[in-house]
Amino acid sequence: MLQPNPYDVLFEEVQIGPVTAPNRFYQVPHACGMGHLRPQAHAAMREVKALGGWGVVCTEETEIHPSSDLSPYSEQRLWDERDIPALSLMVEAVKRHGALVGIELVHNGHMASNLFSRLPALAPADIQLDDGYPRMARRMDKSDIRELRRWHRRAARNAKAAGFDIIYVYAGHDMAVPQHFLLPRYNQRSDEYGGSLENRARLIRELLSETKDEVGDRCAVALRLGLDERMGADGMQAHEEGRAVVELLADIPDLWDVNVSNWQNDTVSTRFEPDEGYEVDQMRFVREVTGKPTVGVGRFTSPDLMVRLVRGGVLDLIGAARPSIADPYLPNKIAEGRTDAIRECIGCNICASSDKLGVPIRCTQNPTMGEEWRRGWHPESIAQRASDAEVLVVGAGPAGLECALQLGRRGYRVSVAEATGEFGGRSLRESGLKGLTAWRRVADNRLYELSQMANVRLYRESPMSAGDIVETESAAVFLATGARWRGDGTGRTHFRPVQGLSDIAVFTPDDVMAGNLPVGPVVIYDDDQGYMGGVIADHLAGKSLAVTFVTTASIVSPFTTLTLEQHRIQSSLIAAGVKLVLSSKLVAAGRGTVSTADIYGGSRDEIACTGLVLVTARDIDRSLSAALKREAPDLCVETIGDALAPGLIADATFSGHLAARNFESDVLETEAAIYRREMPALPAVNTL
């Protein structure tokens, strides 16, 4: 007899207004960098979520009018009827698999700069655009509010026509006008939309009512609300007005989708919120107050926690953005009792970075994410092997493990030779640094999967020379030997080695990861500008070293703005006593000192220190591939991951995955995928 699944409760249907979710797994609206520019890619990506068992799958933000124009960022659009066909692609793709499909209608107010439409932005008051473009949003008058309601109603009607089941009113993440009206710092109006909470919530109430009136016969109407801004008394607090708003509007929405505002506070990286469920305390009251279906998020991947939240009456639906990106098949895996196989989100926020960069979503853990349409990749299936070839992967870091895993899934006999005593490479090494513990999941997940495969063998302490490789008689070799941080100061700023480095104790991130730490006052020089410099500073400050952080950037770790971490990082370094020297380059080093220069004014400074950590650029050792080319010119050799081009771990897992997919595949199709993209429609009558 089959064991009862302890997680059965997660697979119960949930009635949401006039529609019924087939289970409790709910992919909340999340950005993906595809949007209106890439409707086919978008539909294919959302379809995989439905295939993987998510009972509800939503869009990202969907602009309802050109006065909420987020260009150049590509979110969804439902400006008018012409957007219906593109959105219908997604609707059709998701519903095909029995899931409900939701759309997050949004007017972004002063968070939209309208750089394409050129319309004045709209806000409760005359306030500046959020993005730094020196233009102000216009205080909405009564006719503006009427117009906004008309646009929202029209968008709801069009969303229904496109086939959506759940239609949102969005008032969260500090990104939407209805929330801006709610917040006293923006809303100091003296009319019936300002003053009391009831007045400030009037626009939300109107939008909810009008949306229900327009589409409520067939569609559920959801309210997505930021309950708490994590600003203390300077902003909304869940136990104060957050709760009061929920009480005020309790009966109106068919579904409450609640979270913490803003995006930085909702989508926190594991570096700053290592545990899942970090928003539960703020949302605990909503279900009880409203009695309505409630969904919330918090990087949930543990089915036990999910069951507790449902049984405890906190949530009816388990919301997810990042866990559904890292593993679109998370629900199916729970249903099938394969919880060990869940590819757990590492909370690195590379997914968020792609949206902020305006390009399709990527994921460190799930390299198929964003490639569903262009390359036809699926997270759980892959073409079977084309031959009986035995293959060798040299290096068991993120690229090597991913490559071996996918080659193994394809059925090849794979050997993995790792030079050191441990598997995991960079993801393991970096996970020893302060804040990056979760990054070892990149290795853990793959090592678990590989341990289930009879056709893949991993070897520790197996450095390979070209001769060793030739002796294995492998049909193909994948070199995933990684990169090392440079110790000569070359990087973005210096193209030749920095003078005087032999006079001071120089360290690199590799030294720090290996436990080889400086002893005295230390200068960290960050010319990489990624996340590593700030991590090293935090790590060394945590060892009670006196740290001065010198960087060519004007802020600490500017790349982490894209992963929503930058403000927290710079604040935490200051709190840890790290001294910051910004917009400065290293000029020279000497005995007990380094010299820096301001990159604008050129003024020099001397900093006394006994150690210097260089976080500049990385170096590739190509001697093995060169030797192979000499000794076995006909051997099929492919370099992957950091050994090909040092980048993020996400770049490495993608590279490893790509190589495994492409191995012995149709070359024409592989080449065609490089060029595949969505292109603008041209006039029907091209006179040429």
Which residues in 593-652 contact a copy of itself (CB under 8 A)? 598, 600-601, 603, 617-620, 644-648, 651
Residue pair 74/38 in contact by the 8 Å Cβ criterion: yes
Going by C-alpha positions, the residue among 630, 659, 629, 633 that lies closest to residue 644 is: 659
Return the amino acid letter for 685: V
Q: Which of 197, 475, 582, 636 binds a copy of itself (CB under 8 A)?
A: 582
Euclidean distance between the first and final Cα of the chain, in Å? Answer: 70
Would you count residue 142 as binding a copy of itself (CB under 8 A)? no
Cβ closer to a copy of itself: 432 or 558?
558
Cβ of residue 125: shortest distance to a copy of itself, in angstroms? Answer: 8
Task: Tell me the two tokens of residue 627.
Answer: 């030797």
Task: Tell me the two tokens of residue 602.
Answer: 């050129």
Return the amino acid letter for 649: I
Q: Which of 26, 54, 79, 549 binds a copy of itself (CB under 8 A)?
A: 79
Would you count residue 188 as binding a copy of itself (CB under 8 A)? yes
Q: Which of 24, 30, 38, 385 binds a copy of itself (CB under 8 A)?
A: 38
Distance (Å, whole) CA 417 – CA 415 = 6
Instruction: Show the DSSP H helices in 62-176 as ranges.
Output: 84-95, 142-162
Cβ closer to a copy of itself: 38 or 243?
38
Q: Which of 257, 511, 528, 638 binds a copy of itself (CB under 8 A)?
A: 528
Cβ of residue 466: shortest distance to a copy of itself, in angstroms? Answer: 17
Query: Beta-carbon neighbour count of residue 559 at 10 Å?
Result: 18
Cβ of residue 510: shortest distance to a copy of itself, in angstroms? Answer: 16
Cβ of residue 371: shortest distance to a copy of itself, in angstroms? Answer: 9
| SS3 at position 426 | helix
Residue pair 164/216 in contact by the 8 Å Cβ criterion: no
Cβ of residue 681: shortest distance to a copy of itself, in angstroms? Answer: 4
- Region from 85-93, 198-206, 514-522, 535-543 binding a copy of itself, contact rule CB under 8 A: 85-93
Going by C-alpha positions, the residue among 99, 4, 26 that lies closest to residue 309 is: 26
Residues in contact with 95: Cβ distance below 8 Å, sequence separation at least 6, in sequence order: 50, 101, 163, 165
Residues in contact with 377: Cβ distance below 8 Å, sequence separation at least 6, in sequence order: 367, 368, 371, 657, 661
* Per-position x/- string for 195-234, each x denoting binding to a copy of itself as judged by CB under 8 A, each - no binding: ----------------------------------------
Would you count residue 148 as binding a copy of itself (CB under 8 A)? no
Cβ of residue 490: shortest distance to a copy of itself, in angstroms? Answer: 8
Q: Which of 529, 548, 596, 653 binds a copy of itself (CB under 8 A)?
A: 529
- Angle at the Cα of 347 from the Cα atoms of 344 and 348, rounded to 5 degrees: 120
Cβ closer to a copy of itself: 82 or 543?
82
Instruction: Show the DSSP H helices in 478-581 as ranges.
Output: 509-513, 532-541, 566-575
Cβ of residue 640: shortest distance to a copy of itself, in angstroms? Answer: 10
* Per-position x/- string for 423-462, each x denoting binding to a copy of itself as judged by CB under 8 A, each - no binding: ----------------------------------------
Q: Is 420 left (phi over 0), alpha (psi -120 to 50) or beta?
A: beta
Return the amino acid letter for 181: F
Residue pair 44/369 in contact by the 8 Å Cβ criterion: no
Cβ of residue 622: shortest distance to a copy of itself, in angstroms? Answer: 8
Task: Tell me the two tokens of residue 677.
Answer: 């993209």
Cβ closer to a copy of itself: 540 or 615?
615
Cβ of residue 531: shortest distance to a copy of itself, in angstroms? Answer: 7
Going by C-alpha positions, the residue among 517, 508, 506, 516 that lies closest to residue 544 is: 517
**Beta-strand relationship, 14-16 and 19-21:** antiparallel
Cβ closer to a copy of itself: 374 or 409?
374
What is the four-CA torsion angle of 264, 269, 275, 279, rounded to 10 degrees? 10
Cβ of residue 275: shortest distance to a copy of itself, in angstroms? Answer: 25
**CA pseudo-torsion sign 544, 548, 550, 553:** positive
Cβ closer to a copy of itself: 18 or 358?
358
Distance (Å, whole) CA 259 – CA 518 = 43
Residue pair 230/265 in contact by the 8 Å Cβ criterion: yes
Cβ closer to a copy of itself: 39 or 398?
39
Cβ closer to a copy of itself: 311 or 600?
600
Would you count residue 491 as binding a copy of itself (CB under 8 A)? yes
Q: Which of 32, 64, 86, 547 binds a copy of itself (CB under 8 A)?
A: 86
Distance (Å, whole) CA 48 – CA 53 = 9
Which residues, numbered 328-357, are part of the site for a copy of itself (CB under 8 A)?
Answer: 354, 357
- Region from 67-75, 248-256, 332-340, 427-435 binding a copy of itself, contact rule CB under 8 A: 67-75
* Per-position x/- string for 653-672, each x denoting binding to a copy of itself as judged by CB under 8 A, each - no binding: -x------------------
Residue pair 405/659 in contact by the 8 Å Cβ criterion: no
Q: Which of 5, 88, 209, 462 binds a copy of itself (CB under 8 A)?
A: 88
Cβ of residue 353: shortest distance to a copy of itself, in angstroms? Answer: 9
Cβ of residue 129: shortest distance to a copy of itself, in angstroms? Answer: 9
Cβ closer to a copy of itself: 61 or 279?
61
Residue pair 36/313 in contact by the 8 Å Cβ criterion: no
Cβ closer to a copy of itself: 116 or 452?
116
Would you count residue 679 as binding a copy of itself (CB under 8 A)? yes
Going by C-alpha positions, the residue among 233, 297, 210, 240 that lies closest to residue 25 is: 297
Would you count residue 419 as binding a copy of itself (CB under 8 A)? no
* DSSP per position, 630-645: HH-TTSEEEE-GGGTS
Return the amino acid letter for 85: P
- Angle at the Cα of 186 from the Cα atoms of 184 and 188, rounded to 5 degrees: 60
Cβ closer to a copy of itself: 119 or 244?
119
Which residues, numbered 352-381, are part of the site for a copy of itself (CB under 8 A)?
Answer: 354, 357-360, 362
Cβ of residue 133: shortest distance to a copy of itself, in angstroms? Answer: 7
Q: Which of 6, 72, 291, 542 binds a copy of itself (CB under 8 A)?
A: 72
Counting residues that bind a copy of itself (by CB under 8 A) gives 93
Which residues, numbered 534-563, are part of the site for a copy of itself (CB under 8 A)?
Answer: 553-555, 558-559
Cβ of residue 569: shortest distance to a copy of itself, in angstroms? Answer: 9
What is the four-CA torsion angle of 519, 520, 525, 529, rounded to 10 degrees? 60
Cβ closer to a copy of itself: 109 or 253?
109
Residue pair 398/427 in contact by the 8 Å Cβ criterion: yes
Which residues, numbered 101-140, are part of the site for a copy of itself (CB under 8 A)?
Answer: 115-121, 126-128, 132-138
In total, the chain counts a number of residues equal to 688
Cβ of residue 155: shortest distance to a copy of itself, in angstroms? Answer: 13
Would you count residue 185 as binding a copy of itself (CB under 8 A)? yes
Strand ranges of the sheet holding 593-598, from the earlier edge strand across to the other edge: 584-590, 593-598, 604-608
Residue pair 343/365 in contact by the 8 Å Cβ criterion: yes
Cβ closer to a copy of itself: 91 or 320?
91
